[in-house]
Structure 1
Amino acid sequence: MQRIDTSRVVIVGAGLGALYAALKLAPRPVLVISPERLGQGASSGWAQGGVAAAMDPADSAAAHARDTLLAGAGIVDAEVARRVTEEARAHILDLTVLGTPFDRSDTGSYVMSREAAHSCARVVRIRGDQAGAGIMRALIAQLRETPSIQVLEGVMATGLRVEAGQVCGVEIARCDGGLTASCLLRAPAVLLAGGGSGGLYAMTTNPPRIRGEVIGMAARAGAVIADAEFVQFHPTAIACGRDPAPLATEALRGEGAILVNRHGERFLSAVHPDAELAPRDIVARAIYAQSQAGNAPALDTRAALGPRLLADFPTVAAACRTAGLDPLRDPIPVAAAAHYHMGGIATDADGATSLPGLWACGEAASSGLHGANRLASNGLLEALVYASRAARHIGAALGSPSGAAPQVTVPDLPPAPLPNPALVTRLRHAMTDGVGVVRDAAGLTTALAEIAAIEAAAQGSAPILNMTATAMLIATAALRREESRGAHFRADFPASSGPTGDRSFLTLAEALRPIALETT
């Protein structure tokens, strides 16, 4: 394998966490690795709702932390919630200085939306449903003007190199127009900020590349993975046959939109006192139950929003138009879809992982903030907080930068076969069928066997092995948690073990142990 040495900090990913960390590391030389052109293919750019932060004088970080704890179903780290919510306001102000065009009132105050399980309106937004895209445009503009940051577009990470127990580099390959063999990029520090795992499911709101590969490469290197079983299913993906499914933002329900079935019945009122604004796991299971019963759940925006939907929520309006739907005439058909992974690479308060030399932030990481059920719009907030912390910690670990670093050039590499799409499709269906909204031991065991068979058929393809590693961890952690808690629902163990519970921590070696025993 060819080798490149660099003194730059390597950041894997090109979403909010990656770009914010790169800017916070400046003027230290940084190399950002992005499979696509900046702004394309990152989950952050698809985020509709916004960033949760107590910006209203009537609100408080303490209230935000309480809502986070309640939504997280008993396993949120209370100290993490307190610190993150206290930092939220500073990051909103920082993004504003960086040029983010948050919605503002005539008096200059931030316009905020209310989303599920929040006790008040505290989600700072951009043009109603374009927060992720607006923040990303501002950060990319800043990034392009920062001379210490180099971006390698069309390059993907395929693995981590560990020597003497420490991460010392990343294996990278070209992926623009095909896939090449990997080469080793040695670096003094690596930050993983490459997104979550939603694309491991057949029904998802995530960009196509977001299939757990970054979590998987950390797991294959030996990193501890936390809370892998907790996958959040968004209740209102637009059910129009597209892959990935467009999203009907939760802010629509915050504005008064209601969920009905094909009989016109508003079914959430009988499920939870907060009805459409109940925690996401409860709404997602109610939607799933209606779908399974053939009742065609749908989101009715007509009375609450009417024509205002077209101007105030242009992303949703455009998705409906593309799918041939008219939300002014009919309710929008919806389904529960894999949306956000609360689990990920276990990190401490500084974003450091269990492997020296490796940090993580954003959806690829698990900080303890989200617990069993992420509070709406806390995802972008966590990415901001931990990107900043990781940058600060990396800087302290490496000491003062010695000056400019040479640009990294990826050598010509021989072509390599692309991941077998049939295996990827098999994996996605195995996860939806056995590790989806409602789980049980039989389905999870079947899914684990199928994941193992897919891995055996992968013929060493690193992208697929990274996917199956994450899938194995999700399914194994789900099988071991014999209770229902938050987004993890076991039909064979429908009750929780109590108001509070324990987080799960698992390595890939531990996850593989039961499979090894069953096959001997």
Structure 2
Amino acid sequence: MTEVLDEFADRVVIVGSGLAGLMAALTLAPQPAVIVTRAALGAETSSAWAQGGIAASVGADDSAELHLADTLAAGDGLCDPAVAASIIVDAPAAIVALERAGVGFDRSGAGALSLGLEAAHSRRRIVHAKGDGSGAAIVRALVKAVANTPSITVLEAYEARRLLLSGERISGLLCATPKGMAVLPTSRVLLATGGVGGLFDSTTNPIENFGQGIALAARAGALLADMEFVQFHPTALASRRRPLALVSEAVRGEGAELVNEKGERFMASVPGAELAPRDVVARAISAEIARGGRVFLDAREALGSRFASRFPVIDALCREAGIDPSRELIPVRPAVHYHMGGVATDTKGRSSVSGLWVAGEAASTGLHGANRLASNSLLEAAVMGARAARDIAGVPASPAILPPNYAHSPAPDASLVRPIVSRHLGVLRNAGAIHGAIAALLPLAESEGQAADPAIVALLIAVFANLRTESRGAHARTDFPLKLQQTQRRTMRLKDALDIARSVIPYSFARSA
């Protein structure tokens, strides 16, 4: 029996309680909103795990134009320049809005914001809160603000399973709750569900985050964009911990160097060296590991005894693994950290489905292009969460006409999908691996089992990867190592991706025969 929660009818429903979702709820106030979150409010979110801060051109030697230039360079030709410019110019205002919501950003003794440097930034423009615990500090402050906002209702331990449609527009959200299945009747839904790291064995994201928002939107017929671009953070702490702990780019920003097991600084001759764009660094580290080597981050000279005070969270994580980063080399390896693709949206967060908005990592706005510039993620979440809320506030609720029956929706489980994705869709890809992924994922995606939703997201990544016959940004193919002179962003719907996957399978079998 599925319960219809009529007491929440016509309220805005926000799925997810990371930075984008929390900002949206607070911006909507005093308009009533409901936050649906699988875990406790703010918990199990990539936002809360972010060590880097928020990129914003607030320094005396900086400007939105310089920030945009760095963003476009990192995006490797696939950013939407107009979208990127519009988000970046709002960065200083986003910092102010967060401070008003209770976030305490780090400041110097003179009262100015303390600004850090990260890879591929030409200026110090990373605004931190509590040093390398920025994400946690920001989320804690916003969770407190939400708790003190009467117009916001929080439904914890509610897992979104399906978007319900009336014709071609949103009419409700089907959720699994501690008491069984329930429907929230609504014509306005904002998905702020985070990324896809849980599809991979090696990730710095919460392992539960397999792209559920993308699966929800895809099943509802939304356009998806640039799904092939999965960013591997170059320097996850190589340990048995799962998910892997992150050694922030800010450590390299403070002068730490990458060396292999021979003590060679293998990035020294690369433009930007350790602070080259993440895709460049991740591929270089992967190459060292592929030849049977090991890679370490050496912060002994650059930071030494200052490591613990500058990076207390990373210091604790290293010591948990038995490493003293002030005196020892830190073993690192690439791990999935961010997804540039997602549900295609406009500058207001609107998807192609009427009544559905998407913000944060689940969305693909065009800001990041083929490779995200460090700390632009929290920036996008803050700006687009607020923008989507302002747009939603101007759209009146429509009568939620619910369907007579609700689709079967088992609890998603990525355990069957994770080995396929990890083996075939890693840092370096080729046609054989991509076709192998498609062949293994399609039956799971077309099933009604627990692997279906994760398999849908993974299959979309594989199909998009198959179509991009070049190496660009975070998408690197050994069989197509060069960039095309002419390239473009790509969008498609799930039904089109399934058709392409079906056409690829006979070819992949023929090639392997």
Normalising TM by the smaller chain, what interval?
Answer: over 0.9
* 3-state SS, counterpart of residue 415 of structure 2: helix
Name the counterpart of 2:460: 473
Name the counterpart of 1:39: 42
User: For structure 2, which runs of at least 5 residues remain unmatched after alignment?
Assistant: 399-407, 507-513
Report deviation, 1:198: 1.2
* CA offset digits 1:212-269 (Å, max 9, x no partner): 1111111011100111011100000001011100000000000000000000000011
Cα distance in 2 for residues equivalent to 1:93 and 1:425: 42
Cα distance in 1 for residues equivalent to 2:449 and 2:290: 37
Name the counterpart of 1:439: 429
8 A Cα contact 2:197 2:207, kept in partner: no
TM-score (norm 1): 0.92
Report deviation, 1:382: 0.5
Residue from 83, 86, 98 that aligns with 1:83: 86
User: For structure 1, which runs of at least 5 residues remain unmatched after alignment?
Assistant: 402-414
8 A Cα contact 1:440 1:490, kept in partner: yes
Report deviation, 1:3: 2.4
* 3-state SS, counterpart of residue 129 of structure 1: helix
Cα distance in 2 for residues equivalent to 1:281 and 1:519: 29
Cα distance in 2 for residues equivalent to 1:417 and 1:230: 28
8 A Cα contact 1:215 1:466, kept in partner: no
Cα distance in 2 for residues equivalent to 1:184 and 1:277: 48
Name the counterpart of 1:223: 222
8 A Cα contact 2:412 2:452, kept in partner: no
Cα distance in 1 for residues equivalent to 2:490 and 2:216: 19
Q: How does 1:181-192 map to 2 (within 5 A)?
A: 181-192=180-191
Cα distance in 2 for residues equivalent to 1:170 and 1:417: 15
AA in 2 matched with 1:267 = F
RMSD (CA atoms): 1.8
AA in 2 matched with 1:114 = L
8 A Cα contact 1:7 1:29, kept in partner: no
Cα distance in 1 for residues equivalent to 2:325 and 2:503: 53
Matched, 1:379 2:377: yes
Report deviation, 1:459: 4.1
User: Runs in 1 of length 4+ with deviation above 6 angstroms?
Assistant: none
* CA offset digits 1:446-491 (Å, max 9, x no partner): 01111124345x6433xx3221111111110000000111000011
Name the counterpart of 1:448: 438
Report deviation, 1:517: 3.6
Residue from 111, 119, 136 that aligns with 2:122: 119
Report deviation, 1:293: 1.2
Name the counterpart of 2:322: 324
* 3-state SS, counterpart of residue 131 of structure 2: coil
Report deviation, 1:516: 2.9
Report deviation, 1:328: 2.1
Cα distance in 1 for residues equivalent to 2:357 and 2:315: 38
Cα distance in 2 for residues equivalent to 1:158 and 1:274: 44
Report deviation, 1:189: 0.4
Report deviation, 1:100: 0.9
Matched, 1:165 2:168: yes
Residue from 24, 27, 31 that aligns with 1:24: 27
| Aligned CA distance change for structure 1 residues 416 and 66 (closer, same or farther; 3 Å) | closer
Cα distance in 2 for residues equivalent to 1:327 and 1:105: 25
8 A Cα contact 1:256 1:301, kept in partner: yes
The count of residues paired between Structure 1 and Structure 2 equals 495
8 A Cα contact 1:127 1:312, kept in partner: no
Name the counterpart of 2:234: 235
Cα distance in 1 for residues equivalent to 2:383 and 2:505: 44
Cα distance in 2 for residues equivalent to 1:431 and 1:63: 36
Report deviation, 1:94: 1.3
* 3-state SS, counterpart of residue 37 of structure 1: coil
AA in 2 matched with 1:341 = H
Matched, 1:483 2:470: yes
* 3-state SS, counterpart of residue 100 of structure 1: coil
Cα distance in 2 for residues equivalent to 1:335 and 1:86: 34
Matched, 1:507 2:476: no
Q: Percent identical across equivalent pairs? A: 47
Name the counterpart of 2:390: 392
Cα distance in 2 for residues equivalent to 1:263 and 1:355: 54
